């Protein structure tokens, strides 16, 4: 157990996982850009956008797994942080439209002209700079999570109470963002984007680059999470999850640990949202819907909470299933499948896919060791 | 016997007088009718006024016929064409056997139509039906037609119904107030009358007073407006409180079942809203069956639906408890997720079977309509829902307090192992408690089907609110749920006028989030050992 925390964090599984992610992040854009469309190995652009969306969801799932799997905080409002990050990015993209909007106003986005807003509200200032928007992507969800967590954890709101008030939080934000006078486009949200950093959002190379950026963010997020959970801090988090009162009595400031990991998780969710918006091309208040946040929790449960890798796998698997179901004749049955997933995973597969595999791997491994030890013990006996 | 004679003489005199008056009136009426036979607009106009002023009981019929183009004339006589097609003699009001064949219709133009309407307005002031008199008085209050003044005075003198009398007095005041040549004292008196009416119309009337009034009148009007504003503000408060009570009762209905499953059992049932929805759909099915087989029973449909909804939702609840929730006791977060999944399945099942559109659930006759109470309008369905909620609440309290099932439920809640060792079958009690909570949600669905859209999403709208009510009131405490529901309902309605519906709701949410920080276990927290159990 020596070396930098990062090295310590990378066990064999984690290294393999990062390598696979990196390979996907490099290969998919290359196969999309370099090969002609006739080639069997060509990846169509719509798939790049679709999988880019899954990668963003995976990052969101990772952020939920960090707090739920390792600290026992079940947030049913993480979609709010995701959406706030998305709105910050959306505001940047809106400012980039400039005079190409329907009303060709150089400063104000279309919806403000439409609603007769005389000038840009103060909180829209600065969003024409990418660096400022990027900072806000981290800062806004982080600050909200910090303030919310500061109140919640200090007064020891835990368990289902915390879940319910996080849900109320995202519900309140949804109601707010649906209002036109909030200045975020009302129920239409922000859309009709043109450029990001001077590149056309719709263009094939931009989409490939956004995909690569999302995968890079996912890898970075994964490494951060691994580092956190493998450090001593991570041990404290797990002990808070398993016995909060005992950890407190041992002298740890439980609320500070929780606050740190909750804020970190919210920032990650914000980044996921920010990468999601340019790939999907719209952000609207329905992203705040409580149902979305709960759905994100089930991705983690399916993949396996407290495994990090499982969160990524769960998010991709469930969303792939959703796309497959909802785009065909089976569309009316998707909610049955999703609902059954919630029920069956909690009842029959509480460890999730990755957790179950790990569990039986360990059981099998231990049994083999026991058998080997028995054999080693038993072997000399006949010789006697 | 001088007295006798005198009385007889008096009676005779009165009889003569009445007879004389009657014949005079009849002569006036008949003379007025002749105006219709001249076929000139000016004569017709005069005739309308004369007929209306004659006070003859046939006058209304004649003018109405004129309005509908059913008034005919020929041979110097006037006839009314009945709605059945029969021809009546306008002078006698009896079927005319000898009506000439070549009758002509009395013609109208726009000027005459206005006269007809004004005449009808003041004529209905004399109508024998009090409701029509009231309507006419209110119409005059709005039109302020100065020509109606004599009729108003006549009507006032005869009026016995107090409500109509008040409306007539107000109408007269409005007319006087807007007459240019009325005396200052009369105007001030009129302002006093209108001030007592104290509603939005009265305020509008006073505010619309033309400029150039004498200073005393002007001052009286300003004072009256201020006084009306005060009264209106008071009624507005009462109205808000009423709406708040109504919203609170809805919240309580939706949350009360949850107070059992979450509050007493500690089970997070995210499918609770779907139990409400099942109750609403049960009402729909019951009403459909009644409509198809026995429409006469429609007014009783809710009485049939309430026990059925309780059974349907309760049974579904017991099945859920037996198949899913009992495996998840002690794992609240997993219960939350599993029941959320369940709610998706139930919603989609209902959507697949009944279709995604709103279903038409009717109000029985005793639940539709409204009545006025002071300055507010009270609708019957809201009133009955408040009553119903309180009945359900009291029944539930009684059940928990006085029945064996309630006793066992409380025992299991307080100390499961001790209850089990006393011979209570705790697993069975768990099922029944969950069934009870779900059944009550079903009953809530019956009530909510009367005021909300019955669609597969019905329950979703209530789930967050219900949880907040239960958490705010304090888990495991039905009285806390009651207080929380009504205080949240009233607070919501009082915030709405200032902040708008959405911001008001957000403010409430933020308040509860902050409140939970301060008192994590709600308004009425359990104390002692039960807290950590």
Instruction: Compute the Cα dihedral for B482, B486, B489, B492 and give only its sign.
Output: negative
How many whole angstroms from its chain centre is CA B481? Answer: 28
Residues B172-188 pLDDT 10s: 888 887 777 777 778 88
Residue A21 lies in a domain: yes
| Interatomic CA distance for residues B240 and B221, integer angstroms | 28
pLDDT attached to residue B148: 72
| Interatomic CA distance for residues A329 and B397, integer angstroms | 49
Looking at per-residue pLDDT, the higher value among B518 and A273 belongs to A273
Helix (H) or strand (E) holding B280: helix B272-293
Residue A304 lies in a domain: no
Per-residue pLDDT for A382 more than 60? no
How many CB atoms are located within 10 Å of the residue A363 CB?
A: 10
Average pLDDT, stretch B307-327?
Answer: 94
Confidence of residue B373 (pLDDT cuts 50, 70, 90): confident
Residues B451-505 pLDDT 10s: 888 999 888 878 888 888 888 887 777 888 999 999 988 988 888 777 777 777 7
DSSP codes, B394-405: HHHHHHHHHSHH
Per-residue pLDDT for B16 more than 60? no
Per-residue pLDDT for A126 more than 70? yes
pLDDT attached to residue B12: 55
Confidence of residue B15 (pLDDT cuts 50, 70, 90): low
Task: Domain count for chain A, please give it.
Answer: 1
| Interatomic CA distance for residues A301 and A62, integer angstroms | 11
- Residues of B within 8 A of A76 (CB-CB) are 336
Is residue B36 within 8 Å of residue B71, measured between CB atoms? yes
Per-residue pLDDT for B13 more than 60? no
| Interatomic CA distance for residues A307 and B516, integer angstroms | 31
Residues B278-288 pLDDT 10s: 999 999 999 99
pLDDT attached to residue A66: 96
How many CB atoms are located within 10 Å of the residue A66 CB?
A: 29
CB contact under 8 A, A346 and B343: no
| Interatomic CA distance for residues B102 and B411, integer angstroms | 94
Least confident of A312-321, B153-162, B408-417, B422-431: B153-162
> Token pair for residue B39?
């076929």
- Residues of A within 8 A of B330 (CB-CB) are none
Residue A351 lies in a domain: no
Tell me which range, A206-220, B202-216, B346-360, is most confidently predicted by mean pLDDT. Answer: A206-220
Is residue A229 within 8 Å of residue A237, measured between CB atoms? yes
Question: What are B359's strand-pairing partners?
Answer: B454
Residues A2-36 pLDDT 10s: 457 677 777 888 899 999 999 999 999 999 888 88
Per-residue pLDDT for B350 more than 90? yes
pLDDT attached to residue A8: 73
Residue A185 lies in a domain: yes
Residues whose CB is less than 8 angstroms from the CB of residue B374 and which lie 6 or more positions away in sequence, other chains included: B235, B238
Nearest CB among B343, B509, B518 relative to A171 is that of: B509
User: Which of B340, B470, B484, B515 to mutate: most A Cβ within 10 Å?
Assistant: B340
Residues A314-331 pLDDT 10s: 999 999 999 998 888 888
Nearest CB among A169, A179, A339 relative to B344 is that of: A339
pLDDT attached to residue A3: 56
Q: What range defines the domain where residue A52 resides?
A: 5-292
pLDDT attached to residue B532: 44
pLDDT attached to residue A134: 95
- Burial of A254-285, coded b for 16+ CB within 10 Å and e otherwise, reads bbebbbbbbbbbbbbbbbbbbbbbbbbebbbb
Average pLDDT, chain B: 82
Task: State the ipTM, two decimals.
Answer: 0.86
DSSP B71: E
Q: How large a percentage of chain B has pLDDT more than 70? A: 91
Nearest CB among A156, A168, A339 relative to B345 is that of: A339
- Residues of B within 8 A of A294 (CB-CB) are 337, 340
Residue A312 lies in a domain: no
Per-residue pLDDT for A379 more than 80? no
Collapsed DSSP state (helix, strand, coil) of residue B359: strand
Phi-psi region of B500 (alpha: psi -120 to 50; beta: other; left: phi over 0): left
Furthest C-alpha separation in chain A: 99
Residue A313 lies in a domain: no
Instruction: Compute the Cα dihedral for A328, A329, A332, A334 and give only its sign.
Output: negative
> Token pair for residue A27?
């290969």
pLDDT attached to residue B353: 92
Least confident of A144-153, B88-97, B324-333: B88-97
Residue A135 lies in a domain: yes
Residue A342 lies in a domain: no
pLDDT attached to residue A104: 82
- Residues of A within 8 A of B468 (CB-CB) are 164, 168
User: The tokens 């290359």 sit on which residue?
Assistant: A30
Q: What pTM was estimated for this model as a whole?
A: 0.76
Collapsed DSSP state (helix, strand, coil) of residue B131: helix
Nearest CB among A154, A159, A340 relative to B341 is that of: A340
DSSP codes, B154-220: HHHHH---HHHHHHHHHHHHHHHHH-TT--HHHHHHHHHHHHHH-SHHHHHHHHTPPS---HHHHHH
- Residues of A within 8 A of B352 (CB-CB) are 332
User: The tokens 């370099």 sit on which residue?
Assistant: A34
């Amino acid at each position: 157990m020596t070396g930098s925390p990062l090295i310590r964090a990378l066990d064999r599984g984690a290294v393999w996982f990062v390598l696979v992610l990196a390979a996907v992040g490099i290969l998919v854009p290359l196969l999309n850009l370099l090969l002609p469309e006739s080639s069997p190995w060509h990846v169509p652009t719509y798939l790049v956008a679709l999988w880019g969306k899954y990668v963003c969801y995976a990052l969101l799932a990772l952020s939920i797994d960090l707090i739920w799997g390792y600290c026992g905080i079940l947030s049913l409002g993480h979609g709010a942080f995701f959406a706030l990050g998305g709105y910050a990015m959306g505001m940047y993209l809106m400012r980039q439209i400039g005079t190409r909007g329907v009303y060709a106003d150089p400063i104000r986005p279309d919806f403000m002209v439409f609603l007769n807003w005389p000038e840009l509200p103060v909180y829209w200032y600065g969003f024409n700079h990418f660096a400022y928007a990027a900072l806000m992507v981290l800062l806004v969800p982080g600050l909200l999570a910090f303030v919310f967590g500061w109140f919640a954890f200090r007064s020891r709101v835990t368990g289902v109470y915390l879940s319910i008030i996080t849900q109320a939080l995202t519900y309140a934000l949804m109601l707010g963002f649906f209002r036109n006078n909030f200045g975020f486009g009302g129920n239409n949200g922000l859309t009709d984007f043109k450029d990001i950093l001077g590149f056309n959002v719709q263009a094939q190379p931009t989409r490939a680059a956004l995909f690569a950026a999302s995968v890079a963010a996912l890898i970075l997020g994964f490494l951060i999470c691994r580092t956190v959970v493998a450090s001593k801090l991570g041990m404290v988090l797990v002990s808070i999850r398993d016995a909060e009162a005992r950890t407190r009595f041992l002298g740890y400031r439980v609320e500070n640990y929780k606050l740190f990991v909750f804020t970190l998780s919210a920032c990650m969710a914000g980044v996921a949202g920010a990468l999601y918006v340019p790939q999907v091309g719209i952000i609207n208040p329905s992203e705040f819907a409580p149902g979305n946040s709960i759905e994100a929790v089930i991705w983690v449960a399916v993949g396996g909470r407290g495994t990090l890798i499982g969160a990524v796998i769960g998010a991709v698997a469930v969303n792939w299933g959703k796309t497959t179901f909802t785009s065909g004749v089976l569309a009316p049955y998707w909610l049955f499948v999703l609902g059954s997933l919630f029920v069956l995973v909690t009842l029959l597969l509480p460890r999730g896919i990755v957790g179950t595999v790990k569990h039986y791997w360990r059981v099998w491994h231990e049994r083999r060791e026991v058998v080997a030890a028995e054999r080693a013990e038993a072997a000399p006996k006949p010789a006697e | 016997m001088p007295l006798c004679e005198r009385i007889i003489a008096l009676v005779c005199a009165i009889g003569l007088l009445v007879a004389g008056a009657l014949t005079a009136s009849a002569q006036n009426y008949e003379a007025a009718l002749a105006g219709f036979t001249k076929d000139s607009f000016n004569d017709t106009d005069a005739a309308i006024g004369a007929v209306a002023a004659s006070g003859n009981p046939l006058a209304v019929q004649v003018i109405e016929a004129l309005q509908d183009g059913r008034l005919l004339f020929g041979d110097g006589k006037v006839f009314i064409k009945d709605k059945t097609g029969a021809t009546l003699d306008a002078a006698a009001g009896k079927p005319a056997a000898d009506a000439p064949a070549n009758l002509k219709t009395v013609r109208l133009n726009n000027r005459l139509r206005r006269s007809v309407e004004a005449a009808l307005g003041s004529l209905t002031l004399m109508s024998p039906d009090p409701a029509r008199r009231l309507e006419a008085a209110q119409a005059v209050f709005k039109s302020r037609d100065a020509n109606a003044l004599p009729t108003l005075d006549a009507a006032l003198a005869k009026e016995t119904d107090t409500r109509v009398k008040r409306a007539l007095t107000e109408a007269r005041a409005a007319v006087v107030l807007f007459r240019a040549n009325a005396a200052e004292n009369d105007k001030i008196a009129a302002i006093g009358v209108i001030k007592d009416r104290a509603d939005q119309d009265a305020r509008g009337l006073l505010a619309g007073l033309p400029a150039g009034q004498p200073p005393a009148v002007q001052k009286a009007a300003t004072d009256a407006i201020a006084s009306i504003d005060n009264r209106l503000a008071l009624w507005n408060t009462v109205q808000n409180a009423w709406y708040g009570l109504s919203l609170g009762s809805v919240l309580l209905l939706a949350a009360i079942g949850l107070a059992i499953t979450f509050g007493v059992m500690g089970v997070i049932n995210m499918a609770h809203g779907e139990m409400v929805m099942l109750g609403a759909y049960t009402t729909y099915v019951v009403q459909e069956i009644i409509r198809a087989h026995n429409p006469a029973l429609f007014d009783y449909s809710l009485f049939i639906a309430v026990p059925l909804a309780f059974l349907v939702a309760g049974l579904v609840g017991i099945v859920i408890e037996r198949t899913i929730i009992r495996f998840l006791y002690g794992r609240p977060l997993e219960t939350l997720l599993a029941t959320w999944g369940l709610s998706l399945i139930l919603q989609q099942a209902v959507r697949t079977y009944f279709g995604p559109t709103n279903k038409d659930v009717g109000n029985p006759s005793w639940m539709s309509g409204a009545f006025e109470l002071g300055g507010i309008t009270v609708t019957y369905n809201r009133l009955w829902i408040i009553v119903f909620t309180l009945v359900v609440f009291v029944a539930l309290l009684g059940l928990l307090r006085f029945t064996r099932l309630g006793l066992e439920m409380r025992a299991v809640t307080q100390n499961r192992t001790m209850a089990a060792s006393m011979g209570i079958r705790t697993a069975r009690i768990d099922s029944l408690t969950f069934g009870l909570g779900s059944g009550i949600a079903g009953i809530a669905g019956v009530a909510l089907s009367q005021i909300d859209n019955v669609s597969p999403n019905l329950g979703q709208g209530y789930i967050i609110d219900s949880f907040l009510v239960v958490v705010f009131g304090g888990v495991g405490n039905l009285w806390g749920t009651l207080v929380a529901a009504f205080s949240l309902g009233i607070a919501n309605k009082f915030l709405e006028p200032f902040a708008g519906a959405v911001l008001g709701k957000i403010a409430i949410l933020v308040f509860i989030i902050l409140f939970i920080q301060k008192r994590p276990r709600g308004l009425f927290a359990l104390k002692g050992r039960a807290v950590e159990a």
